[in-house]
Amino acid sequence: MSIRARAERHLTVDHAGSAVADQSVKADWSAYAAAYDLLSKHNPEYQKILSDFELFLSQITSPQVIYDIGGGTGNYTQIAARVCPDSNVCLAEPDPGMIAAARAKLAAFDNIRYENRALEDIDAPGTADLIVCVHALYAMTAPEQRLTDLRRLLRPGGVLYLVDLGRLMDVTDWRSYLFSHLKKEHGLAGALRIFWQGREIAKQNTVIRRAQKKGVYWTHSDAEIAAAATAAGLEIIRQDTVYRGYSDLLICRALP
Ligand SMILES: C[S@@+](CC[C@H](N)C(=O)[O-])C[C@H]1O[C@@H](n2cnc3c(N)ncnc32)[C@H](O)[C@@H]1O
């Protein structure tokens, strides 16, 4: 189903008669924030994407201005600020809980600034040499337009490192994958302890799945996200399937 059709299916009409998105099925990112880094640390697939981003950064000319859009607790910002100490890194994150966790974690860096706002509210056209946006686009309203916002934020020739959850989140599949990994690494008691500490993650992932099924969050195939990126004026340099087949990684250049 097209992005527009999915979005329209879940619009309701407010008192003034205008269409508004159904907010009731969106993830609570602040609740997610408290346990986010615990499970990220223990999820090898999350770590693989971090490593890929670090390798990518080490292979390009150091960008002057880097944006981390929907940067969450700042794990990609941290890599950017460390690998590119002379770059200005901006973490843009609308959720107060997520950005508070990032600020606390990254306090030692002096090349990071924070924007507590959504992508659609950033007004800085043509300023970014590099944008990283990981697992955030699917959760935004009107992702096709948000891709255009990302394109607009980049200078011509600037690069977008984009990872997006495209397939339906299978919470049971992830739970058994992570549990067997944790059991191998930490034993049964250790795995149970980490699962208990990170129980909010499973809860929020269930909400994400519900939002995907209702069409509030975007699901896409690799071909669909590639078509949307191309339509937004982005030239795809590299595309891979990552995160156990659930997500797409695209590295794109902004066309002039
Ligand atoms: C699953 S987290 C990903 C965090 C981080 N990028 C990472 O991979 O660790 C998704 C993030 O997208 C953010 N987000 C949701 N809608 C957004 C929007 N319109 N603009 C920017 N960020 C948004 C949420 O607040 C949340 O922190």
The per-residue pLDDT for range 152-182, each reduced to its tens digit, is 999 999 999 999 999 999 999 999 999 999 9
C-alpha distances in Å from residue 10, one per residue of 7, 96, 142, 215: 6, 26, 12, 7
Residue 170 carries which DSSP code? -
Q: Is 135 in the pocket of ligand 1 (CB under 6 A)?
A: yes
pLDDT given at position 202? 87
Q: Per residue in 47-58, pLDDT tens?
A: 999 999 999 999
Percent of the chain at pLDDT above 70? 91
Q: How far, in Å, is the centroid of ligand 1 from the Cα of 11?
A: 21
pLDDT tens over the chain, length 256 residues: 444 444 444 444 333 333 344 556 899 999 999 889 988 899 999 999 999 999 999 999 999 999 999 999 999 999 999 999 999 999 999 999 999 999 999 999 999 999 999 999 999 999 999 999 999 999 999 999 999 999 999 999 999 999 999 999 999 999 999 999 999 999 999 999 998 998 888 889 999 999 999 999 999 999 999 999 999 999 999 999 999 999 999 999 999 8
Is there a contact between 251 and 161 (Cβ–Cβ < 8 Å)? yes
**Burial of 38 per CB tally in 10 Å (0-12, 13-18, 19+):** middle
Percent of the chain at pLDDT above 90? 84
| Residue 84 to residue 97: CA distance in whole angstroms | 26
Partners of residue 67 on adjacent β-strands: 90, 131
Which of helix, strand or coil describes residue 16?
coil
Q: Is 131 in the pocket of ligand 1 (CB under 6 A)?
A: no
In the numeric block, which tokens belong to residue 148?
Answer: 């255009």
Mutate to test the pocket of ligand 1, among 98, 133, 165, 201 (most ligand atoms within 8 A of CB): 98
Q: How far, in Å, is the centroid of ligand 1 from the Cα of 135?
A: 7
Domain with 203, as residue range(s), is 3-254
Against a cut of 0.85, is the pTM above it? yes
pLDDT given at position 8? 41
User: The domain that contains 235 carries what CATH number?
Assistant: 3.40.50.150
Q: How far, in Å, is the centroid of ligand 1 from the Cα of 92?
A: 9
Residue identifier of the C-alpha nearest atom 24 of ligand 1: 70
| Residue 29 to residue 148: CA distance in whole angstroms | 24
Number of domains in the chain: 1
Q: How far, in Å, is the centroid of ligand 1 from the Cα of 54?
A: 19
Pairing of strands 154-165, 247-254: antiparallel
Q: Which residues contact 66 (CB under 8 A, 6 or more apart)?
A: 80, 84, 87, 88, 89, 90, 128, 129, 130, 131, 132
